[in-house]
Amino acid sequence: MANTLFDKIWDKHVVQYVEDGPQQLYIDRLYCHEVTSPQAFAGMRARGLKCFRPDHIYCMPDHNTPTHDQDKPIEDPVSKTQVDTLAKNAADFGLTHFGMMNPKNGIIHVVGPERGLSLPGMTIVCGDSHTSTHGAMGAVAFGIGTSEVEMVMASQCILQQKPKSMRINVEGELGKGVTAKDVALYLMSQLTTSGATGYFVEYAGSVVRNLSMEGRLTLCNLSIEMGARGGFIAPDEVTFEYIKGREYAPKGEAWDKAVAYWKTLKSGEDAVFDKELTFNAAEIEPRITYGTNPGMGIGITESVPAIGTVPEAGRVSYLKSLDYMGFQPGEKLLGKPVDYVFLGACTNGRIEDFRAFASIVKGRKKADRVVAWLVPGSWMVADQIKAEGLDKVFEEAGFALRQPGCSACLAMNDDKIPAGKLSVSTSNRNFEGRQGPGARTVLASPLVAAAAAVTGVITDPRTLM
C-alpha cells in the first residue's frame, strides 16, 4: 500500500504501468513559458494535433520580458520574437495566456500558486526546472523537457520513471535573521548539488511546518539545485488558509470537498523512504554562497573553506570557481564590496521577500556604490507591495521597483550584471555567467541582500535588526 505522500499522489495519477518501463502519468496542470514551448507547439502543428485538455494548460511569458516599459514594444528582437510567438501559439491552440501587462502576468512559478492554479494533490509540469516550486502547495510538481511538453499538450500525460523517495526533516527553531532561503542554501551545502539526484524530496519537521507559504515556496524552489526531481510539503492549515479565496481555487461546496480530500494528503506514520535525513535548525545562520554552484555556501560569518578541507579530486574546480569569483580560500566574505543587489526571481520574488527587504532598508539609505534591482515576481506581488506602502519605504531609502519578470535571475532580458561586478542575488543559481557574462553572483536571502544594499558590502543582517 502506498504510504508516503509522494506514492499516494503519484499512484493516483498513473494511467498505465509499463512493465520494466516508465509509467504513464496523468498531468493536472501544464504551464508554458516562452523559452521551452516553441518547439513543442511546432511539433504539435507538424503532426496536425490539438491540445487534448486546453483548459488545463496556462501560458505566460516571464524570462524574456523586460522589467521596464512593458507597455511599449520589446526592443530586443530575440525577446520580442519569443514573447510574440508564445502569444500566437496560445491563441492558435486555444490556451489561456497571461501576456505582458496582463494583471495576471508574472513568473510562472509565482503566478501558479498565488492564483490558486497550483493545488494540493495535483501533478504539475512545466518545461522549467524550478517547477519544483509548486511542490510547496502539496503537489507533485517537476520540470520536463520540450519534447515532454509536447507529449503533455497532445495527451495530458507523460511517460516517467518513478523517482525514489527522500524525506528531509528540519527540526527546531530558526534563529534571528534565518529564513527559508538559508535553510535551502544550508541543505544544499550539506547534500551538494547532486545529493538528491534521482529522488523526490518531502520536506518535513517543525521548521518546515512553521514556514509560511512563501517560505515553503522558496524551499521547494531550490530542490532542483540539490539534484532532486522535485520537492514538496504535505498540505496543512497553512496551505488551506493561503489557497482559500484565490481566483482559481475551488469555491463553496467544491472547496469543502477539496479540503476534506487535501487533509488526507500526508505520509503515513510508518511511511518508509528510500532515504531519510534530519537536520537541526540551530546549525543554520544567514547564508551566502562563495562559489559557482549553489552548493558552495557558508554561514555569513564563516570563511571560504581552506584548500586543505576540499577533497583532492575537487580542488582544481574549486580553485577555478574561486578564481572566477575573485575570492581566496580561507578568507571571510563579510565586508566585501558589493556592486549589484537583485531582489526577485521565483525563489524570492514574493510579498514576504519584499517585506523582509523593507524591514532592513526602512529608515536607511541605499549605498551609493550599489545598483539595486527590486523586481516583484508578478503584478499581484507588485500591487500588494503598493497596498502595504512598501513602495514608499523603498522610495525613501533610494530604491525603485521594476516590473515583473525573471529579470537578473538569468541573462535572457535587459537586466544583465556587467562583467566583473559582484552581485548579491536572491535568485537560485550562481553559475558562471548566469547573471551576465563575467558577472559574479553571491546567492543569499532577501535580508542579506537588503543588508548589502544599504551598507555596500556583504553584511550580516542580524547586525541591522
Ligand X SMILES: CC(C)[C@H](C(=O)O)[C@@H](O)C(=O)O
- In whole angstroms, how close is the CB of 128 to ligand X at the nearest point? 4
Q: Which of 233, 346, 370, 380 binds ligand SF4 (CB under 6 A)?
A: 346
- In whole angstroms, how close is the CB of 304 to ligand X at the nearest point? 25
Residue 128 interacts with ligand SF4 (CB under 6 A): yes or no:
yes
DSSP bridge pairs for 289: 297
Report CA-CA distances (Å) from 464 to 208, 211, 360, 447, 457: 26, 23, 7, 10, 13
- In whole angstroms, how close is the CB of 331 to ligand X at the nearest point? 29
Residue 434 interacts with ligand SF4 (CB under 6 A): yes or no:
no
Strands (E), 230-354: 230-232, 275-280, 287-289, 297-299, 340-343
Residue 5 interacts with ligand X (CB under 6 A): yes or no:
no
Could you tell which of ligand SF4, ligand X, none binds residue 143, using a CB distance below 5 to 8 A set by kind?
ligand X
Spell out the residues 6+ positions from residue 254 whose beta carbon is closer than 8 angstroms to its own.
Answer: none
Residue 401 DSSP symbol: B
Fill in the amino acid letter for 440: R
Of the pair 109, 440, the CB lying nearest ligand SF4 is at 109
Residue 425 interacts with ligand X (CB under 6 A): yes or no:
no
Nearest to 430 by CA among 302, 283, 327: 327
Residue 427 interacts with ligand SF4 (CB under 6 A): yes or no:
yes
Could you tell which of ligand SF4, ligand X, none binds residue 35, using a CB distance below 5 to 8 A set by kind?
ligand X
Q: How far apart are CA 170 and CA 102, in angstroms?
A: 39
Which residue lies nearest ligand X, judged by its C-beta?
A: 129
Report CA-CA distances (Å) from 126 to 91, 146, 152, 220, 339: 19, 9, 10, 15, 34
Q: Which stretch binds ligand SF4 (CB under 6 A): 82-90, 136-144, 334-342, 406-414?
A: 406-414
Residue 82 interacts with ligand SF4 (CB under 6 A): yes or no:
no
Nearest to 267 by CA among 329, 315, 205: 205
- In whole angstroms, how close is the CB of 100 to ligand X at the nearest point? 17
Q: Which stretch binds ligand X (CB under 6 A): 52-60, 128-136, 160-168, 360-368?
A: 128-136
Q: Which of 86, 107, 111, 454 binds ligand SF4 (CB under 6 A)?
A: 107
Residue 269 DSSP symbol: T
Q: Which stretch binds ligand SF4 (CB under 6 A): 185-193, 265-273, 333-341, 403-411?
A: 403-411
Q: How far apart are CA 345 and CA 117, in angstroms?
A: 19
Of the pair 179, 435, the CB lying nearest ligand SF4 is at 435
Nearest to 92 by CA among 41, 55, 47: 41
Q: Which of 79, 123, 129, 292 binds ligand X (CB under 6 A)?
A: 129
Residue 134 interacts with ligand SF4 (CB under 6 A): yes or no:
no
Report CA-CA distances (Å) from 316 to 218, 297, 312: 32, 18, 8
Spell out the residues 6+ positions from residue 189 whose beta carbon is closer than 8 angstroms to its own.
Answer: 287, 295, 296, 297, 298
- Beta carbons of 337 and 422 less than 8 angstroms apart: yes
Q: Which stretch binds ligand X (CB under 6 A): 74-82, 124-132, 178-186, 194-202?
A: 124-132
Residue 273 has which C-alpha cell? 523512504
Residue 331 has which C-alpha cell? 578568507
With H, G, I as helix, E, B as strand and everything else as coil, classify residue 190: helix
Residue 110 interacts with ligand X (CB under 6 A): yes or no:
no
DSSP bridge pairs for 279: 170
Of the pair 273, 340, the CB lying nearest ligand SF4 is at 340
406 is in an annotated binding site: yes
Q: Which stretch binds ligand SF4 (CB under 6 A): 68-76, 293-301, 366-374, 405-413?
A: 405-413
Site for ligand X in 10-39 (CB under 6 A): 35-36
- Binding characters for ligand SF4, 217-236, by CB under 6 A (x = yes): --------------------
Residue 267 interacts with ligand X (CB under 6 A): yes or no:
no
Of the pair 134, 366, the CB lying nearest ligand X is at 134
Residue 306 has which C-alpha cell? 581552506
Contact residues: ligand SF4, CB under 6 A? 62-63, 107, 109, 128, 130, 345-346, 406, 409-410, 427-428
Binding-site residues sit at: 346, 406, 409
Binding-site residues for [4Fe-4S] cluster sit at: 346, 406, 409
